Chains A and B, each alone.
Chain A
């Protein structure tokens, strides 16, 4: 397996549906992802496009009423979807870790920061509490917390948002995972702290060599951090390319709209570009391309097929995939 597929993580045709009373919400619908060792993959899209559900699916943490209905997830050649609960528990936090958006509330209020990091060692490496605490202090120093001995004894409510996120990162990286899933790690932080945290993540990536899936809606962060970017829309990946290529030559109308809607510091525009319309209801998706109803290019080029058949995600240039009829042959 690993001979033919050298990727660290391979997600194929992953679909995660939520079975609600109103109907089936197709939160993730046929997503393919590849990530190699030491790579940072940016996963961008607006709220509700399925970014977080994709990451939760990789760790198999989708809760009721959600369910992974199809697809496969290979991590170092092993299929994760057929693992038992105990096998998954052994993988989570040890080989794949995750950090969350709200750092302060993601820490347990009744335990000190050091204790919570030490517990990761206890759970995954069977270390004694005392040894774990010593290593926790080391880890805190490593994520750039000053006075780590003292800070290890702090409770979460005594930490600032930036520090709490550093503690979360220390917890996630304690066991030395090969893959870190960062779900909007800096959304709740202000910009200066944001820069520090991103810097830290990049530096730790260089030190420890883990791969990172960086989930965000902030294109600035992606441009700065990611090696490769996948753009998600309504549960699907619509475009995937290296970061430079994606920002220089975006192809999918949605990506073009996204990049156009970012204000540029120092210039004033009368209007910011806006993508008209709203994300379609994920319960009963219309046939055809999911973006069709909001797509200017469809109208300009008078493409009838967009509302009839969904395009495939095809490689239009080397390492640049787009899911759009503009770039592929329309079947007659």
Chain B
């Protein structure tokens, strides 16, 4: 190498030798002292992304309204949902909507969505119907998600025979048309809201089991699972604390979209007379009861249908938005 004072430049350090020797007192050369940005968790990030997406925002607002309506139903509804008004007021079955503001005669009692076939206030029934619809939708999905997650985790993590057994049973369930299977289950268990919810849960379990299983298969191969094993973490802890949280994203999306389907199926079962029992206000059964009066009393079919659509649409928009917001592949 070239010595000091040499005329030949050092090819590695043309501008002269770099300073070497001990560092000045207090120098921190670890290079990691840069100021850190505030950290934000996965869900906080997801929510921020969600509120940036127009369709997800609309979905959230629609769903929020629906939830508020369901919670404050007694305050909003002017009548009891099962209260028969015939003989108490000057109303007849299937009276069209009467709104004083829009020129309805003041002598007549106000019913903004009219009267149903049994002489009850349609608006009040619609308001209370939101409770059944939400509870049934979310409840049946919750049960299905719990069962599907458990089965998917077991199948994905242990593989082999357990995987085969579980997934073939799921395939059999999927092979049935879902509504027919639900009807069959209700026929065995008996009619009623709880049974209808359970039937829908059973029918939709395979979807969640598949989603969780495929997520587990991906997560299982990750380096951090191997690292956990090397640190002596037990299998059950790896399943619940490592694999499950990392598989949650597709599950959340699937579940949100699943609520929309469940709401529709509850309505369909009620429409067929297999869901909630008659006096209870439920959109599907309200629709079914008046389906022959589409032309004479269109409001009794139109508004329950609209309500179902509102509910389904809000969950679908939200689910779509969640899918984009939680997708780590999309870099923003």
Contacts and interface: CB of A to CB of B under 8 A. Distances in A.
Whether both chains belong to one complex is answered with yes
Interface of A: 59, 61, 86, 88-94, 97-98, 100, 102, 105-112, 119-120, 123-124, 144-147, 150-151, 153-155, 158, 160, 162-163, 168, 171-172, 181, 192, 196, 266
A97 B230 contact: yes
Contacts of A196: 30-31
B232 A89 contact: yes
Given A108-B224, A147-B33, A124 B232 contact: yes
Given A100-B226, A110-B246, A146-B33, A89 B42 contact: no
A172 B242 CA distance: 17
21 contacts: A89-B232, A90-B232, A92-B231, A93-B232, A93-B233, A106-B226, A106-B227, A108-B224, A108-B246, A109-B224, A110-B42, A123-B232, A123-B233, A145-B32, A147-B33, A158-B36, A168-B227, A172-B231, A181-B230, A192-B31, A266-B12
B39 interface: yes
B231 A171 contact: yes
Contacts of B90: none
A240 to B, nearest CB: 25
B1 interface: yes
A144 B241 CA distance: 28
A123 B231 contact: yes
A196 B224 CA distance: 23
Interface of B: 1, 12, 28, 30-33, 36-37, 39, 41-42, 222-224, 226-234, 237, 241-242, 245-246
Given A105-B223, A123-B237, A163 B230 contact: no
A91 B222 contact: no
A158 B230 CA distance: 24
A102 B32 contact: no
Residue of B12, B33, B37, B223 most packed against chain A (CB within 10 A): B223
> What 7 A-B pairs have minimum CB-CB distances, sorted nearest first?
A92-B232, A93-B231, A93-B232, A98-B230, A105-B223, A106-B227, A106-B223
- Determine chain B's interface SS by DSSP, over half rule: loop
A160 to B, nearest CB: 7
A260 to B, nearest CB: 23
Contacts of A86: 234
A98 B195 CA distance: 52
Contact of B230 (A92, A144, A145, A150): A92
A61 B230 contact: yes
Contacts of B226: 61, 100, 106
A62 to B, nearest CB: 11
A131 B143 CA distance: 36
A303 B179 CA distance: 79
A213 to B, nearest CB: 13
B216 to A, nearest CB: 14
Given A107-B227, A171-B231, 11 more contacts: A61-B229, A86-B234, A106-B223, A106-B224, A108-B224, A111-B245, A119-B241, A123-B234, A155-B41, A158-B39, A266-B12
Contacts of A154: 36, 39
A98 B228 CA distance: 10
A124 B233 CA distance: 9
B282 to A, nearest CB: 39
Residue of B32, B41, B223, B228 most packed against chain A (CB within 10 A): B32
Contacts of A124: 232
Contacts of B246: 108-110
Contacts of A162: 31-32
Contact of B227 (A100, A109, A155): A100
Contacts of B33: 146-147
Contacts of A88: 232
B231 A100 contact: no
Contacts of A59: 230
A144 B39 CA distance: 20
Contacts of B232: 88-94, 123-124
Contacts of A155: 39, 41-42
A102 B223 contact: yes
B222 A105 contact: yes
Contacts of B1: 266
Contacts of A119: 233, 241
A105 B28 CA distance: 28
